Amino acid sequence: MRHLPIFLLLFAVTAWSVGAKTIPVPGQGASLTIPDDWTVTKRPNVVLFAAAPGETAALGILVSANGDQRQADTVDFIRGMAQEITDKAKANGTAITFIDAGPKVLNGVPAGFVQSQQTYPDPDHQVIYSRTYTLAANGKFYRLSLDTRDPRQDPALVEIAASFRFAPPPQVPGPNDFIVHRIGELAGIALILGALVFFFRKKIREYLGL
């Protein structure tokens, strides 16, 4: 009987592996694992969309540029994620409740995380349970949005997010990269302004005969 807990642990681990498939994130050098009965389809504005039968749960991955080399696991960034989700909920007329938020690490890559619950103003007051992860890597932001109408599917969403990985390991921004990038921008602006001042001062002196 003392071996029973180990057996149960192995069963829990293999239960996810059996009946799951690993799919690539198109053009991003990344992949993740979803249940076998999920279907991948094309949707506008996302690089990958997959859904459970009847779309009782879904995954969308949005990729955007991170020109400022910002980190995604900082308090300010996560606060911005929550505000963006709030603004979208208000635009859709839904009531939103935040359940959890904070930094995460997905296979060695730092990420910002927000978990929320949205109630729609329809007669059935449909509730959507959401997990949103944002990773900063290779000069881009990777936004993983996982939604379900059934809270019992939440563990599966956690497993999907945890399976997201890059191959080879990506470059991630460090704590000083954003500052260095801003200093570089300011230095470039200062050089341009200095050149303009020199040019116009020279023209004014020539015009005045000085």
- At 124-133, the pLDDT tens digits run 889 999 999 9
State which fold the 20-173 domain adopts. Protein Transport Mog1p; Chain A (3.40.1000)
CB 58 within 8 A of CB 50: yes
The mean pLDDT value for 118-144 works out to 94
Exposed / middle / buried, residue 8 (Cβ in 10 Å: 0-12, 13-18, 19+): exposed
Please, what is the average pLDDT of the chain?
84
Q: Is the pLDDT of residue 92 over 80?
A: yes
Q: Is the pLDDT of residue 73 over 70?
A: yes
Quick one: pLDDT at residue 124?
81
Quick one: pLDDT at residue 207?
54
Alpha-helical runs (H) found in the chain: 4-17, 75-92, 154-162, 177-208
Q: Which of 33-42, 128-137, 172-181 has the lowest mean pLDDT?
A: 172-181
Quick one: pLDDT at residue 195?
53
- At 173-204, the pLDDT tens digits run 998 744 443 444 444 454 554 555 555 555 55
Q: Is the pLDDT of residue 146 over 90?
A: yes
CB 28 within 8 A of CB 64: no
Quick one: pLDDT at residue 49?
98
Quick one: pLDDT at residue 199?
54
Quick one: pLDDT at residue 156?
94
Q: Is the pLDDT of residue 58 over 80?
A: yes
